[in-house]
A = this chain, B = another copy of it.
């Protein structure tokens, strides 16, 4: 692949072609003012900032196409950016150049209630979309926590707490409009197509899901919607032993229950949550949180009963359930505030978050080793995760200027990835590769896999202008 760009050359090139962008978009949609560009220099992770030379605000796919064409002709790197809520540096313009921001393309273009789908522009966030859908009886299910843009979630292959029932982004995209490096406009399933399934040709949609802006700029996404559940139930259940909590998780999965969420908080995380949210009725034990999505209240009660039997047979210490909206919110309070509760433990610290995903059969072993390792390194980390899928995060509050601690965190993160890889897992369940996980690509995929990916990249972006420096070393 073409080597990373020389920042000085890129800067000069940007100055040179800025008038062309202004002509194309109007002056107010092009900025080179440093203080403004600085806002697009980071994401929510822990990476070094990198300020772009230009921030462009297109208002149509045709404008995006013209921008990409210009960048390609002039060998100027270009980074598409959603809400900037990523954690692995995927949206940081490490080579400088142009950042595309999509506040001018924030329309929900179509909602097809009968077909359970809708089409959005890249400026639409998931909460904005669900707000728009509130009267339809449908919802967009993928919930990564942050109010990410839907197209950004496509680019990251995001998931979150509801994937167990409704799938990750990979299972929820019907069609994409993508501007290629040449400026050509691709519809991955053909323009305007929205069949529920198809066996026609290669799966181009999936090629762009998780491609992190390195293969094209996503300018429209047609995504699946789901019927809102008519009855919801929740369970919070603590266990003395981590093994019992995880064994319950496995058995709950095996029962094929209508589980929308199956989350885990370790002892440390629960203690942080209890302190932070003053949850006097909860115990600092390894705890699982369940949410059932059903059609009837009877069904919810049936599912809760089955879950209770499983948890009790695995020596649960306390089992709390509810099917009332307010009660459920209260039960889930600990889970919702997990990140902030752990940060509050060390005021002023920033959070470092890991993201491995391992086969369910290896989860107990990896979780236990993780707790031990955190202790050995003197790190004040806590574990929270989508354990129904084998995906968990360690949240570690850390002071960036503490070199020793920073080294320990990096050492821990590296150890955890290697541990996950050794048991058949992945370095990233849902945050993407970005900058943070590039070094593990060869270990995870081997040289053949990496070569095939690079072949895709060089075929579609021979000049390496699309988000260079990401995914591959």
Contact = CB atoms under 8 A, between A and B. Distances in A.
Nearest to A389: B196
A361 B215 CA distance: 33
Interface string A416-434: 0000010011111111110
A210 B204 contact: no
A196 B256 contact: no
Given A197-B430, A201-B445, A360 B115 contact: yes
A168 B207 CA distance: 17
B429 A204 contact: no
Contact of A203 (B209, B358, B448): B209
Interface stretch (A270-278, A292-300, A324-332, A403-411): A292-300
A431 B200 CA distance: 9
Interface in A89-120: 112, 114-117
Contacts of A390: 195-196
A374 to B, nearest CB: 22
Contacts of A211: 202
A163 interface: yes
A35 interface: no
Contacts of A471: 201-202
Interface string A235-274: 0000000000000001001111110000000000000000
A61 interface: no
A335 interface: no
Q: Is the interface of A mostly helix, strand, loop or mixed?
A: loop
A468 B186 CA distance: 25
Contact of A187 (B195, B198, B449): B449
A358 to B, nearest CB: 6
A273 to B, nearest CB: 25
A449 B201 contact: yes
Interface string A189-223: 11111111111111110110111000100000000
Contacts of A146: none
A312 interface: no
Interface string A155-197: 0111100010001101100000000100011111111111111
Interface in A424-473: 424-433, 437, 440-441, 444-446, 448-453, 455-457, 459-460, 471
A424 B192 contact: yes
Interface stretch (A47-55, A225-233, A279-287, A345-353): A225-233
A137 interface: yes
A303 interface: yes
Given A171-B167, A226-B256, A448-B186, A200 B427 contact: yes
A226 B255 CA distance: 10
Interface residues of A, number: 101
A357 interface: yes
A193 B390 CA distance: 13
Contacts of A194: 359, 424
A453 B202 contact: yes
A49 to B, nearest CB: 23
B449 A204 contact: yes
A444 B190 contact: yes
A446 B190 contact: yes
Interface in A359-399: 359-361, 389-391
30 contacts: A114-B250, A115-B359, A159-B197, A170-B203, A170-B206, A180-B452, A185-B448, A189-B426, A190-B421, A191-B446, A193-B425, A195-B357, A196-B359, A199-B428, A199-B432, A199-B433, A200-B432, A200-B433, A200-B444, A201-B433, A201-B444, A201-B449, A202-B207, A202-B456, A203-B206, A204-B449, A227-B253, A230-B255, A296-B306, A455-B459
Given A193-B426, A196-B359, 20 more contacts: A117-B359, A170-B206, A186-B452, A190-B449, A192-B424, A194-B359, A194-B424, A195-B358, A195-B391, A195-B426, A199-B355, A200-B444, A201-B433, A202-B471, A203-B203, A203-B207, A204-B453, A227-B256, A255-B295, A455-B460
